[in-house]
Amino acid sequence: MDPNLGAAPTWTDNNTTEDYGSDDGGPNVVTKFFKSIGVKYQLLLDKWTPHSRSRWAFAISLLFIFMLRIIFAQGWYIITYALGIYHLNLFIAFLTPKIDPALDYEDDGLDLPTRSTQEFRPFIRRLPEFKFWLGMVKSTLIGLFCTMFDCFNVPVFWPILVMYFITLFCITMKRQIKHMIKYKYLPFTHGKPKYQHPPTNS
């Protein structure tokens, strides 16, 4: 009787690598390329995270370049209006707490403190500062990219768009300020307050 009869088949590493590496390797190279770009992009963001001043200087510079592009080109007002609305939504989410105190969270214990005797908790935003900056930079770059194509240059009477945006901005900020006054919170936290001990008589 053949001793190998009924034995389990054996696989070698060479057969495995030959089976999976038989194609031309095109998709694998493309995947590695995009992965390397993603890693470098994330590394750049991680290095830039603690430098808030330089980040916002870069974002404001991009926005200034975009406005110069619109002013000198005299067009793409729809793109400008859409960009302004998107930035306004980002700003409102930046000012809004993650847990809305207007909702009833009886069991969570995550509502904002309304008395000085309550435990201090830092303001947790619905949209963190870094994501606010990143969304602003990405949207401005997309807006600049759209201004390179005439198909996005829709003719419109731009003073109406300016009036709409100012009206929307005033209404939205008025509602946000009323919300802040009603629930007694500030969207800015500079660290946990420190209380001094009362002087003791020696």
Tell me what pLDDT residue 11 has. 46
Report pLDDT for 54.
93
Are 122 and 189 contacting, i.e. CB atoms less than 8 angstroms apart?
A: yes
**Distance in angstroms (rounded) separating the CA atoms of residues 130 and 114:** 27
Whole-number pLDDT of residue 33 = 84
pLDDT at 118 over 80: no
Q: pTM of the entire structure?
A: 0.70
Q: Could you tell me the CA-to-CA distances from 33 to 29, 38, 45, 46, 47 in Å, in that order?
A: 6, 9, 19, 20, 21
Confidence band for 169, pLDDT divided at 50, 70 and 90: very high
Q: Give CA–CA dist 58/64, Å, rounded.
A: 10
Of the two residues 176 and 118, the one the predictor is more confident about is: 176
Range list of β-strands (E), 59-126: none
Integer Cα distance of 50 and 47 in angstroms? 7
Model pLDDT for residues 62-111, shown as the tens digit of each residue: 999 999 999 999 989 999 999 999 999 999 999 888 877 766 444 454 45
Q: What is the pLDDT of residue 190?
A: 57
Give the Cβ contact number of residue 96 at 10 Å.
16
What is the model's pLDDT at position 109?
Answer: 46
Is residue 27 within 8 Å of 33, Cβ to Cβ?
Answer: no
Residue found by looking up tokens 């999976």 in the block: 20
Of the spans 22-31, 72-81, 121-130, which averages the highest pLDDT? 72-81
Assess contact for 92 and 176: CB atoms under 8 A. Answer: yes
Measured between alpha carbons, how far is 130 from 44 in angstroms, rounded to an integer? Answer: 13
Average pLDDT, the chain: 78
Average pLDDT over residues 173-189: 82
